[in-house]
Chains A and B, each alone.
Chain A
Amino acid sequence: MTPLTQAPMALTPLFGFLIDAPISVAHYLAVGAILFTAGIACMATKRNALGVLMGIELVLNGANVNFVAFASPYLAGEGVRSLGLDGQVFAVFVILLAAAEAAVALAITLNFYNNHATVDVDRADDLKG
């Protein structure tokens, strides 16, 4: 517990309950949010197109964690008749789409590289208005 309690104390009022409480949906959501934020930060700071793509993967996976978290049976309302797999199915779709997107994005990146001999996204400003 100590390493965790040595976490920045400033955040303790907000996130302290995560340390004390048992693993719940909130913990999943926190992981998703961290992943999402890390992804965004990666997208916003990386100049390498492959780094940006990695950031996108992080964002998508952060979203997937959220999907799965919200699919928790504890959150399901009374009398809901379903398999309770909606979140997981969405996650699978997202993974699928992420693969497809990655293929397309990598193709674009390759082409870009062919044309400009670089993968620096700051150089890809041809769509400037």
Chain B
Amino acid sequence: MDLAAQLPLLLGLAWLMPLASFVAILFFGPRMGPHGRNAAWVATAAIVTSLVLSLTAFVVWLGGHPVRAVAHGSHAAQAAAAGHSEGEPTSGRAAAGEHPAEGDHQAGPGDVHSEPHLPAAYAGEWYTLYHSGRLRLSIGYYIDSLTVLMFVLVTFIATCIHVYASGYMHDELHDVTDHEVTLSDGHHLHRAGRFPRFFQALSLFCFSMLGIVIAGNLAMVFIFWELVGICSWFLIGFYYERWTASTAANKAFIVNRIGDFGFLIGLMALWGALGTLSFADTKVAGPDGHELVQAGLFSQFRPAGAGHSLQVPDGMVVAAAAEEVASIAADHAAAPADAASQIAARIPDWRRMGMGRWLLFIAGLGIFCGCVGKSAQFPLFVWLPDAMEGPTPVSALVHSATMVAAGVYLVGRFFPVLSPDVLLVIAYVGAITLFIAATIALVANDIKRVLAYSTVSQLGYMMLAIGVGGWVAGLFHLVTHAFFKSLLFLCSGSVIHACHTNDMRKMGGLAKVMPWTAATMLVGCLAIIGAGVPFVIGLSGYYSKDSILAQALSFANANPGHRILYWAVAGGAFLTAFYMFRLWFMTFAGQPRDHHVTEHAHESPNVMVTPLVVLAVMAVVAGWTLPGGLGIANLLEQSRPAGTAEGMAGGFVFGQSLLFPAEHESHEGAVHVTATLTAFATALAGVFLAALLYLWKVVSPELIATIFRPVYGFLAGRWYFDELYDLLFVKPTLGVARLASAVDRGLIDRLINGVAQGARGLAGIDAWIDRTFVDGLVNATAAAVWNTGLKLRALQTGRLRQYVVFIVLGTVTLFMIASLAFRSSATG
């Protein structure tokens, strides 16, 4: 089997299927059956095809790269080498050797055995958008086990959500009266259904997300990153007539643009200094026709020659040492080749002097900035809870497999390029996020908002895990979280569908009428809190959360100054357990609180329940490792970026004392046992406390809220982040805008109006002169002629005899005058 040819074909097709569906629905959606009913089938068929193709790719991958259990030894190199000797020689490696352009590293076949750990990956390009000198933009792919796994994950969850949505969105099949929109005439908005439009956007969303996952370079990631952003805008603002929905969509879009600004800075830092955005090495045609291998980002940051340890790339060193480079070039103006060799010789010195470290820091921080926006991290998490305004299937998709996953995925993909300093920033941002979001979730009463803040909190977990060096732990949690969070959202959608309200205070006792929803949601809650029998078996969250906790503990042990990160994770686990079971107890347990809400409640149709069951099964089993070693963690281990297995030490910006322990160390006895027991204890405590308050009602939650009124108010006000941002950014922006508007109106407009009025006044004077004098002269002449004519008219009597007399008298008079004149001249 030639994986290098099969995988891009399979995944490329899987990637393009939703695009085909999008285009089809875009052009023919309204004509697909009554009210576009069949658009759901088109979209679902496309995503199911993608799922089948992805699963095929998954099987093909497993055939080429059998998953082996990772040995938990202290000797990473030995373990990794042992892993390789079992799986070696992988066909992927061979393929990479045969086609250097498609391999992600330059290592020849001879180097393979001496390398400590190299990920199996296939990279290449489908289409070159732009090529000038060293700068290339292309549509390419980078496929490793993470890509394959993400493809399966995204298409699987998207399939469940498509099926679910075809039931959930049935209201859109006929005309809709939106009771949340009141028109100016006092009536509710009445509009046509938008069923095809929903599935059209859903398809584009899946296509964009798969594009990010398969992307072979950062420019392509950015393109699809923005596509995901616009799709989320479409879907969050699906009920765009509602003021809240349209503002939420705008908020999500604008907040994401703030993050993307950082992303662009990072892209520019990389592009400007390194001249490539490709992850892997690419083979390009040189000027003399020979093929050159252009080093990709990974091999520039972690060159094979330096043992795959992170170093400042040559491009960044040269960019930082621009002055020295310029002086050398000036000295050797006659012989540019000498200058080049001089510069090349000086690079190690410059690197030791620390040049380019800030550039590296900024590049990593910039990319992370984009992820902060997309994955709703502090301080840009404010858009995610508002995004609940979209239909519930959208929330499920946005919160699990697509939008927010993109940020974590990119941090994971970019992990080998991130310097220790950036990782520390990521860890702290994650810790702050998870704590803030978890505390807000404690007091939220909107069922979807609890889940939204839970998502923010869990994303904080993932970021923190990657930030403390737990690459596998973070991405593992991304996968398991995608399953149980989509499950939880779809369950909440089922509840909302039945109750027609989001307010948990009006629910209660729904377990009797909605047994399937209650049971599957219970599975989701247990999965998210990491329930399980310690050291024996557990739900998916048990494994991923434990590995995060273990890595955080391992990091805290290595860096005692950063022990707070561990406490954040442990405290977060407690809070998670509390608010999740608060949600479940308030919704399903006890007696109905509001009969208006619950009396019409009913179990959802099968088309909605089936995805719940499927996802519940996945939420249980996703974390398991099969006896042969097949499991998500081990699968991810195959893609571990080169050189990151041994951990990292030192920091460029925040001092040299940072120590990132290797991830396998967290699997060791002492750390692992402590972490597992801590996780179990905190989760149990959280559930117990929630049961005390909301199930057994030993203490009234209202009493606690009264006692801790300031704290409760602070949390219920969501830490006043929206108000703070409103005060810090929105108000000043509006103020500046108003000022500009005032300057515009008061100064510029007034000036222009004044000039115009002056010109108008002058013209008035001119017109007066024209009318009075020029026209006056002409009119006076005309009037004089007219009056004279009027007077002379009387002479024209029409009487011939009178005329004769006049003629005669006139002639006589003329003769008399002539004779008088003649006489006077003759005498005078």
Provide the residues of chain B in CB contact with A128, threshold 8 Å.
796-799
- Interface size range on B against A: 10 to 19
Given contacts A128-B796, A129-B794, A129-B796, contact A122 B801 (CB under 8 A): yes
User: Interface centre among B795, B797, B799, by most A CB within 10 Å?
Assistant: B799
* Cβ contact within 8 Å between B795 and A52: no
Residue on B nearest A37 in the bound complex, by CB:
B808
Residue A111 CB within 8 A of the other chain: no
Residue A80 CB within 8 A of the other chain: no
Residue A24 CB within 8 A of the other chain: no
* Cβ contact within 8 Å between B796 and A127: yes
Given contacts A40-B808, A44-B808, contact A126 B798 (CB under 8 A): yes
* Cβ contact within 8 Å between A124 and B804: no
* Cβ contact within 8 Å between B804 and A125: no
Cα(A46)–Cα(B801), bound, Å: 8
Q: Which of B798, B804, B808 contacts A129 (CB 8 A)?
A: B798
Provide the residues of chain A in CB contact with B797, threshold 8 Å.
125, 128-129
Q: How far is the CB of A46 from chain B (nearest CB, A)?
A: 8
12 residue pairs bridging A and B, Cβ less than 8 Å apart: A40-B808, A44-B801, A121-B799, A121-B800, A122-B800, A124-B798, A124-B800, A125-B797, A125-B798, A127-B796, A127-B798, A129-B797
Residue A47 CB within 8 A of the other chain: yes
Residue ranges of A at the interface with B (Cβ–Cβ < 8 Å) = 40, 43-47, 52, 121-122, 124-129
Cα(A124)–Cα(B800), bound, Å: 8
Provide the residues of chain A in CB contact with B799, threshold 8 Å.
121-122, 125, 128
Q: How far is the CB of A106 from chain B (nearest CB, A)?
A: 15
Q: How far is the CB of A102 from chain B (nearest CB, A)?
A: 16
Residue B600 CB within 8 A of the other chain: no
A-contacting residues, B482-499, CB 8 Å: none
* Cβ contact within 8 Å between B796 and A44: no
Q: Which of A43, A127, A129 contacts B801 (CB 8 A)?
A: A43
Residue on B nearest A42 in the bound complex, by CB:
B804
Cα(A127)–Cα(B808), bound, Å: 20
Q: How far is the CB of B780 from chain A (nearest CB, A)?
A: 24
Residue B793 CB within 8 A of the other chain: yes
Residue B805 CB within 8 A of the other chain: yes
Provide the residues of chain B in CB contact with A44, threshold 8 Å.
801, 804-805, 808
Q: How far is the CB of A124 from chain B (nearest CB, A)?
A: 7
Provide the residues of chain B in CB contact with A125, threshold 8 Å.
797-799
Residue ranges of B at the interface with A (Cβ–Cβ < 8 Å) = 792-801, 804-805, 808
* Cβ contact within 8 Å between A47 and B795: no
Cα(A47)–Cα(B801), bound, Å: 8
Provide the residues of chain A in CB contact with B805, threshold 8 Å.
44
User: Interface centre among A52, A124, A125, A129, by most B CB within 10 Å?
Assistant: A129
Provide the residues of chain A in CB contact with B795, threshold 8 Å.
129
Q: How far is the CB of B146 from chain A (nearest CB, A)?
A: 111
Residue on A nearest B797 in the bound complex, by CB:
A128
* Cβ contact within 8 Å between A43 and B804: yes
Provide the residues of chain A in CB contact with B804, threshold 8 Å.
40, 43-44
Q: How far is the CB of A94 from chain B (nearest CB, A)?
A: 18
| A-B contacts besides A44-B804, A122-B799, A126-B798, 9 pairs, CB < 8 Å | A40-B808, A52-B801, A121-B800, A121-B801, A124-B800, A128-B798, A129-B793, A129-B795, A129-B798
Cα(A45)–Cα(B800), bound, Å: 10
* Cβ contact within 8 Å between B808 and A45: no
* Cβ contact within 8 Å between B800 and A52: yes
Residue on B nearest A43 in the bound complex, by CB:
B804
Provide the residues of chain B in CB contact with A45, threshold 8 Å.
801
Residue on A nearest B790 in the bound complex, by CB:
A129
Residue on B nearest A121 in the bound complex, by CB:
B800
Residue on B nearest A40 in the bound complex, by CB:
B808
Cα(A45)–Cα(B801), bound, Å: 7
Cα(A46)–Cα(B797), bound, Å: 17
Q: How far is the CB of B727 from chain A (nearest CB, A)?
A: 91
**8 nearest A-B pairs in the assembled complex, by CB-CB distance:** A129-B796, A128-B798, A125-B798, A129-B793, A43-B804, A121-B800, A44-B804, A127-B798
Q: How far is the CB of B808 from chain A (nearest CB, A)?
A: 5
Q: How far is the CB of A12 from chain B (nearest CB, A)?
A: 23
Cα(A126)–Cα(B804), bound, Å: 17
Q: How far is the CB of A76 from chain B (nearest CB, A)?
A: 23
Provide the residues of chain B in CB contact with A121, threshold 8 Å.
799-801
